[in-house]
Amino acid sequence: MEKQQILEKIRQAGVIGAGGAGFPAHIKLSCSADVVIANGAECEPLLRTDRLMMEQYPKKIMLGLKAAMYVTGARKGVIVLKKKYEKAIAALQSALDLSTELMLMDSFYPSGDEQQMVYEVTGKVVPTGGLPLDVGAVVQNVATLIAIADALAGLPVTEKYVTVTGEVQNPAVYKAPVGTPLTALIAAAGGPEDMRGYSVVIGGPLMGRVTDDISQEVVEKTTGGIIVMPSEHTLIRQKTGSLENDIRLAKSVCCQCNYCTQLCPRNALGLQVEPHKIMRALALNANNFGEVNGIFSCCDCGICTHYACNFQLAPSRLMKRVKQELLKAGVKPEKKVAFDVADNVESIKVPTSRLTIRLGIDKYEKELELKKELIETGYVRLPLKMHIGAQSVPNIGTGDTVAKGQLIADVSQGEGANLHASLDGIATVTDKYIEIRK
Ligand code: SF4
Ligand code: SF4
């Protein structure tokens, strides 16, 4: 198959990054690269989706990786995962060839951060305002590579594996059609019948978001995990605190000890990310945020807030806020690496086991099983925008009968991703989503 034919099949299938912001895969792969990195590190505590998919689908991951290497011209493919994933390592080793290899990492957070991973594999730092491609690398999550392998077989993205854990009786990795209500996954996992008093984190404990209304949430192409927790849990309270309170505490409590900056993994890569200076500026009502460019390299990993700061302050949230305001004011990042990589870059890595204890979520750490039976509720609601780029435009109308796998929305202008029915049924089309009922 020609390179353009492969990219077209990936585009048609609606493949987007499964583990992050949802960048359309056919656009990311329309480039020349030296190395394709398959991200299987899944560094957030509690999540098991990628690990179990590597155990179950090593051949598909290799097929997707080889396709990505072929279209980008990369001579090397590296699958990065943790040393402790023994079953996944054995499964993937049997599928390797001369141009592909495994890179085994210790269990630290945030080992799955794209920039961290590129540095571990290539020894080069992605500049602020830049992309891995600036140092010759393309990174794809292992679940995205499986979707690419399916796309080559003509199968669009209609299902998703999701870790469901926390306060549920049967934590596991469940499979559901895209658009399935998250309440159905929680019920399948034996979660609380009455959700009052519980909150749900969508994503990992550190980078995930706490939903305001679980009844409105559905499985999206980027959903990797959901965690049910008591609303009173410190982590939930920390994640849902108000910005006004964050600023008030920055003024009254921050002692400028600088630990948040010292333990910032992006700062250690030489990207000059200095959260303590943001705290100081806010305390002084000043606009002197230090080296502004470095703020754009904050990846929102939360190490500063959830691990470094002894006073439970929230520098990561304030970094995010300042970054948004800078972007709104038209400030753009300058492509550069400010310093050499710090000598202590290895020693500041935070072991995932310690982080889990610090977050108070170690009781949820369990070996999980991958459930291959599909959770079906006879209803899905498919958002028209689950990806970076333009919203998909429906090509069907309310009352139309659709079949699973049918293209129901695409991108007529700009860049985006196709959307396919994940259920046979009757469609209802709105300006934000398409519902399908059996
Ligand atoms: S670690 Fe906490 S107290 Fe120390 S400088 Fe950072 S925000 Fe302030
Ligand atoms: S969230 Fe905090 S620790 Fe993480 S990159 Fe941003 S400033 Fe650094």
> Cα separation of 205 and 193, whole Å?
22
How much is the pLDDT for 411?
86
What tokens were used for 337?
A: 């690496």
Span 410-425, average pLDDT: 91
pLDDT at 405: 98
Q: What is the mean predicted confidence (pLDDT) over 54-72?
A: 98
Query: Which string of DSSP letters, residue by residue, matches 281-338?
Result: HHHTT----SSHHHHTT-----HIIIII-TT---HHHHHHHHHHHHHHTT-----B--
Q: Count how many residues are written for the chain.
A: 438
Tokens representing residue 208 in the block: 């995930």
Q: Does domain 3-152 have CATH number 3.40.50.11540?
A: yes
pLDDT of residue 415: 86
Residue 103's Cβ-count burial label (10 Å; 0-12, 13-18, 19+) is: middle
Q: Ligand 2 centre and the CA of 303: distance in Å?
A: 6
- The pLDDT assigned to 62 comes to 98
Domain 3-152 identical in fold to domain 380-438: no
**Using a 6 Å CB cutoff, which residues line ligand 2?**
264, 266, 273, 275, 298-304, 315-316, 319
Does 311 sit in the ligand 1 pocket, CB within 6 Å? Answer: yes
Of the residues 311, 317, 318, 319, which should be mutated to test ligand 1's pocket, given the most ligand atoms within 8 Å of the CB? 311
- Residue 288 Cα to ligand 2 midpoint, Å, equals 18
Mutate which of 260, 291, 297, 298 to test ligand 2's pocket (most atoms within 8 Å of Cβ)?
Answer: 298
pLDDT in tens, 71-102: 999 999 999 999 999 999 999 999 999 999 99
Q: Is the CB of 200 under 6 A from ligand 1?
A: no
CA of 205 to the centre of ligand 2 (A): 15
Q: Are 375 and 176 in contact (CB under 8 A)?
A: yes
Please, where are the H alpha helices in 83-203?
A: 86-93, 114-122, 142-152, 182-188
Residue 288 has pLDDT above 80, yes or no: no
- In terms of Cβ atoms closer than 10 Å to its own Cβ (0-12, 13-18, 19+), residue 287 is exposed
Q: Quote the ligand 2 centre to 108 CA distance (angstroms).
A: 15
Fold (CATH) for 158-228+360-377: Ubiquitin-like (UB roll) (3.10.20)
Look at 127-141, 223-237, 274-288 and tell me which has the smallest mean pLDDT: 274-288
Task: Please name the residue whose Cα sits nearest to atom 8 of ligand 1.
Answer: 254
Residue 414 has pLDDT above 80, yes or no: no
Average pLDDT over residues 302-326: 94
Are residues 94 and 58 in contact, defined by beta-carbon separation less than 8 angstroms?
yes
Ligand closest to CA 247: 1
Instruction: Tell me the best of 259, 303, 305 to mutate to test the pocket of ligand 2, counting ligand atoms within 8 Å of each CB and taking the most.
Output: 303
**299 C-alpha to center of ligand 2: Å?**
6
State which H helix or E strand residue 72 sits in. helix 58-72
Mean pLDDT of the chain: 95
| 115-129, 142-156, 253-267, 273-287, range with the lowest pLDDT | 273-287
Mutate to test the pocket of ligand 1, among 251, 260, 274 (most ligand atoms within 8 A of CB): 260
CA dihedral 341, 345, 350, 352 (to 10 degrees): 80
Residue 333 scores a pLDDT above 90 = yes
Assess whether pLDDT exceeds 80 at residue 40: yes
Q: Residue 342 burial (CB < 10 Å; 0-12/13-18/19+)?
A: middle
Tokens of 22: 């949802």
pTM for this model (two decimals): 0.96
CB 205 within 8 A of CB 44: yes
The span from the CA of 33 to the CA of 29, in Å, is: 9
Read off the pLDDT of each residue in 131-151 and give the average, rounded to a whole number.
97
Using the predicted structure, report yes or no on whether residue 286 has a pLDDT greater than 80.
no
The rounded Å distance from CA 308 to ligand 2 centre is 10
Compute the distance from residue 137 Cα to the ligand 2 centre, in Å: 23
pLDDT at 287 over 80: no
Q: How far is CA 402 from CA 176, 177, 392, 398, 413, in A?
A: 18, 15, 17, 10, 24
Ligand 1 close to Cβ of residue 315 (< 6 A): yes
Q: At what angle do helices 3-12 and 58-72 cross, to 10 degrees?
A: 130
pLDDT band at residue 283 under the 50/70/90 scheme = confident
Residue 285: its pLDDT value, please? 79
State the pLDDT at residue 90: 98
pLDDT digits (tens, 9 = 90+) for 183-200: 999 999 999 999 999 999
pLDDT in tens, 360-392: 999 999 999 999 999 999 999 999 999 999 999
Both tokens of 51, joined, read: 């690990």
Are the C-beta atoms of residues 409 and 393 closer than 8 Å to each other?
A: yes
d(CA 192, CA 188) in angstroms, rounded, equals 11
Q: Tell how far the Cα of 258 is from the centroid of ligand 1, in angstroms.
A: 6
CA distances from 368 to 33, 166, 201, 299 (A): 35, 12, 18, 28
CATH 3.30.460 describes domain 380-438 = no
Give the percent of the chain with pLDDT over 70: 100
Q: Which residues contact 290 (CB under 8 A, 6 or more apart)?
A: 272, 274, 277, 278, 281
Nearest Cα residue to 382 out of 423, 438, 416, 413: 423
CB contact at 8 A, 91 and 58: yes
Query: Hey, where are the domains in the chain?
Result: 3-152, 158-228+360-377, 239-351, 380-438
* C-alpha to C-alpha distance for 148 and 9, rounded to whole angstroms: 9
pLDDT value at residue 315: 95
Mark 417-426 as b/e (b = at least 16 C-beta within 10 Å): bbbbbbbebe
Does residue 19 have a pLDDT over 90? no
How far apart are alpha carbons 317 and 238 in whole angstroms?
10
What does the pLDDT read at residue 292?
Answer: 86
Sheet arrangement for strand 137-141: 100-105, 76-82, 35-39, 137-141
| pLDDT at res. 379 | 98
Average pLDDT over residues 124-147: 97
